[in-house]
A and B are shown apart, each in its own frame.
Chain A
Amino acid sequence: MAGFATRRRRETADEELVRTLFTEHGKAMLAYATRLTGDRAAAEDVVQEALVRAWRHLDDLGNGKGSVRGWLLTVVRNIVTDRVRARNARPAEVAESPTTVPVEHDHADHVVDTMVVLQALDRLSPEHRVVLEQVYLQGRSVAEAADVLGIPPGTVKSRSHYALRALREHFPARHLGMEGVA
């Protein structure tokens, strides 16, 4: 508590929000930004901007941890993408910093996609969720996932099949090309 007492000014709700986002999602954001930029200092700038944008657009963040994280990570990517675009517009600096960001995608689509996916994952049972995380997000083979999770490969397979269908149940219909169903 001594640390709090010495902090002179009051923390406003705004600052508290940003602090909370940082505490919950900062590691994911910074790791992602670092991979995309290949540069820790640049990544920190991107994370700072993403957090400030989050604070400016609170209404877009959605409900649920998955949705908030999806929003933040997507914004991280968009910022990196925009910076790459801006740099590419100036030929002298093109070769400066190679990046792995795909620049051809449309921003808005990705915001929704990542948010929706993480939100849907949140609603799965832990058994189903971890299998999908291992196989798809981490890109592990069935054998590797089986090893990590300590279950037989056959179970990884069958669980991932069930989990994929369970995930579909938590997906808004409009995201699976079935307009008008919902």
Chain B
Amino acid sequence: MTTDNHVDVDGYVDGELDTEQSREVESHLAGCATCREEVNSLRELQSYLQEVPPEALLDGPPADADLLLQRTLRQVRQESARTRTGRGAVATTVSIAAVAAVLAAAGGVLIGRNAGPDQPLAVPEPTPSASSSAVPGTRFASSVDPSTGARLTVRVEPASGFVRVNVAVTGLPAGEPCRLIVVGKDGRRETAGSWLVSEKGAQQGTTLDGTALIDPDDVTAVMIENTSGQKFVSTPV
């Protein structure tokens, strides 16, 4: 929708026009639905933006708040111990999946990014999320590459026009810059994520979440390769 030739919608929305100019715009708006919608939609966006607190721009951990972190971890530890005794292993599985999602969301896709080498995950072999609310049409697949020994287990979940993928991969060398690639039936490749294999990821495996703009019906394979194109493992789905 372009309104370049009508009136100064931007100036009007920004409140930069003088009274006379504003009146001109308003009389145009009264008769032009296109510009009216444009003004409404821009104003709506502005109000959404203004509602976001400026603190949202701060990154990183707070200063002098280690006690707060410790208190919070203690509470989580206590509650998760209670949950585990109550519900068995289910809670753990769901958490792992969600942890993977959140870590992926946080930009560092590796499980174990903040833990030292002495702290393996509760689950030694990573498994893709056993989502509690599986989307219809979700597919699972798993393969081991005979030459590299890498194992890839994937879950491909259809979304509207794209797919969400969750993978668990073991047997990748530490320090390797890797890509998670989704392959379409026409051979099209979409990168669904990239990361650097950590020591821990090499030892215990890595769980990743990603998305790829390929129609769910067209996805034929998911693969892991390094940034120079060397394939580690691929699985048809």
Listed in ascending order, the chain A residues whose CB lies under 8 Å from chain B are: 1, 3-5, 7, 10-24, 26-32, 35, 44, 47-48, 51-52, 55-56, 58-59, 61-65, 67-70, 73, 77, 110, 113-114, 116-118, 132-133, 136-139, 157, 160-161, 164-165, 167-168, 171, 175-177
Q: How far is the CA of A20 from the CA of B114 in the complex (A)?
A: 7
Interface assignment of B29: CB less than 8 Å from any CB of chain A: no
B residues 127-175 touching A (CB-CB < 8 Å): 132-133
- Whether the pair A138, B57 counts as a contact (CB closer than 8 A) is yes
Report B's interface with A, CB cutoff 8 A.
10, 14, 40-42, 44-46, 48-63, 65, 68-69, 71-73, 75-77, 79-80, 92, 94-96, 98-99, 101-108, 111-123, 132-133, 209, 211
Complex interface: chain A residues within 8 A of B80 (CB): 12, 14-15
Q: Given known contacts A13-B123, A29-B55, what 13 new A-B pairs fall within 8 Å (CB)?
A: A10-B119, A15-B76, A26-B65, A27-B62, A51-B72, A52-B75, A58-B102, A61-B101, A117-B48, A117-B49, A117-B51, A136-B50, A168-B41
In the bound complex, residues from chain A placing their C-beta under 8 Å from that of B79 are 52, 56
- Are A117 and B68 within 8 A (Cβ)? no
Evaluate contact between A113 and B56: CB separation under 8 angstroms. no
Contact A28 B57 (CB under 8 A): yes
> B45, B77, B101: which contacts A167 (Cβ < 8 A)?
B45
Q: A136 near B49 (CB under 8 angstroms)?
A: yes
Cα distance A137–B57 when bound, in Å?
8
B57 to chain A, nearest CB (A): 6
How far is the CB of B205 from the nearest CB of chain A, in Å? 13
In the complex, which of the residues A5, A61, A113, A176 contacts B102, with contact meaning CB atoms closer than 8 Å?
Answer: A61
Measured in the bound complex, the distance between the Cα atoms of B92 and A7 in whole Å is 22
Complex: chain A residue closest to B68, CB-CB: A44
A13 and B58 contact, Cβ closer than 8 Å, known pairs A59-B132, A68-B102: no
CA A161 – CA B117 in complex, angstroms?
49
User: Out of A24, A48, A175, A177, which one reaches B75, CB within 8 Å?
Assistant: A48
B-side interface mostly: helix
- With beta carbons under 8 angstroms apart, the residue of A30, A114, A133, A161 that contacts B57 is A133
Give bound CA distance, A32 to B77, whole Å. Answer: 26
Residues of B within 8 A of A20 (CB): 102-103, 106, 108, 113-114
Residues of B contacting A14 with CB < 8 Å? Answer: 76-77, 80, 95, 99
Closest to A135 in B: B49
Q: State how many angstroms separate the Cβ of A179 from the closest Cβ of chain B.
A: 14
When distances are taken between beta carbons in the complex, the residues of chain A under 8 Å from B101 are 58, 61, 63
Contact A13 B76 (CB under 8 A): no
Most A C-beta atoms less than 10 A away, residue of B63, B79, B115, B120: B115
Give which listed residue, A4, A30, A58, A113, contacts B118 with CB less than 8 A.
A4
CB proximity of B99 to chain A, nearest CB, Å: 4
Residues on A with beta carbons closer than 8 Å to the beta carbon of B65:
26, 30, 44
- CB-nearest residue of chain A relative to B94? A58
A73 is contacted by which of B53, B111, B211 (Cβ under 8 Å)? B53
Q: Is the CB of A24 within 8 A of B95?
A: no
A-B contact pairs, 10 of them (CB 8 A): A13-B122, A24-B107, A28-B58, A35-B53, A73-B55, A73-B56, A117-B49, A132-B49, A157-B14, A176-B41
Give which listed residue, A16, A28, A65, contacts B55 with CB less than 8 A. A28
Contact between B75 and A4, CB atoms less than 8 A apart: no
Say yes or no: A164-B45 contact (C-beta < 8 A), given A15-B76, A17-B95. Answer: yes
Pairwise interchain contact A65-B107, C-beta atoms closer than 8 A: yes
Pick the residue among B58, B75, B77 that contacts A31 (CB under 8 A).
B58
Report B93 CB to chain A, min CB distance, Å: 10
CB pair A63–B209 under 8 Å, yes or no, is yes
Query: Is the Cβ of A48 less than 8 Å from the Cβ of B68?
Result: yes
B1 nearest CB neighbor, chain A only? A165
